[in-house]
Amino acid sequence: MSTAVPLPLPEIDPEPPEWRVEPGLLDYPRAVAAMEARAEAIRAGTARELVWLVEHPPLYTAGTSAQAADLLQPDRFPVHRTGRGGEYTYHGPGQRVAYAMLDLKRRKPDVRAYVWALEEWLIRTLDRLGVAGERRDGRVGIWVRRTDRNEPWREDKIAAIGVRVRRWVAFHGVALNVEPELAHFDGIVPCGISRHGVTSLVDLGHPVTLADADVALRAAFDEVFGPGGPMGPTG
């Protein structure tokens, strides 16, 4: 009888998330329904994780913490109640929304760590596009100092974050302002914060397209969520 010790099988890298770019402007209820279905399939093990890059027609969404008083112009655009965390936000043309449907059980089952990773994804994306994005305690999202206007004390929001986690599968995601109509944010108090403004890459003087942003998002995602990254797969 052989006494040889069997060699361990090599580790197999988990299948990376699927990436999809949605053409045109995507109806918001359709997006939510698709995310719900994909998240359930990921939980059941019948579908891969997905990063879905979309653009919406002008609309407002109300997260689970939204206050009625923060909807300043209720008749301006359609308003959609949604199960993600957070307050009111705007989506519209020129804004890249990245819906990330990820299995946190195979990454890190820690919601705070996941939100940090989403922030890091946006910060590294912006860095690739020549912008210094920053976190702020007590203010969700990514912020920039308006040094371009010689107003370093002024801080404007360039990206929003809103997530929902069900049975450790995360969905919803992030929204990066590339070149949206910034006046459309005037109908709400974005994320319940009235003391600061909103900006975009183009407003900051960076002539970036959605396609440029997509390349940066993909590269930065791989750094944060790929193998070896702070929210990379562990099994």
Q: Does the structure show a pLDDT above 70 at 44?
A: yes
pLDDT tens by residue, 101-127? 999 999 999 999 999 999 999 999 999
Tell me the catalytic residues. 191
What percent of the chain stands above pLDDT 70? Answer: 91
Q: How confident is the model at residue 176 (pLDDT cuts 50, 70, 90)?
A: very high
Q: Give the pLDDT confidence score for residue 149 in this predicted structure.
A: 85
Over residues 195-205, the mean pLDDT reads 92
Q: How confident is the model at residue 203 (pLDDT cuts 50, 70, 90)?
A: very high
Q: Does the structure show a pLDDT above 50 at 82?
A: yes
Burial 96-126 (b: 16+ CB within 10 A, else e): bbbbbbbbbeebbeeeeebbebbbbbbbbbb
* Residue whose C-alpha is closest to residue 31's, from 82, 88, 79: 82
Q: Does the structure show a pLDDT above 50 at 62?
A: yes
Give strand pairing partners of 151.
Answer: 146
Q: Identify whether the C-beta of residue 185 lies closer than 8 Å to the C-beta of residue 91.
A: no
Q: Does the structure show a pLDDT above 70 at 8?
A: no
Over residues 93-100, the mean pLDDT reads 98
Q: Does the structure show a pLDDT above 50 at 214?
A: yes
Q: How confident is the model at residue 36 (pLDDT cuts 50, 70, 90)?
A: very high
- pTM for this one? 0.91
Q: Please report how many Cα atoms fall inside a 13 Å half-sphere around the Cα of residue 112, on the Cβ side.
A: 1
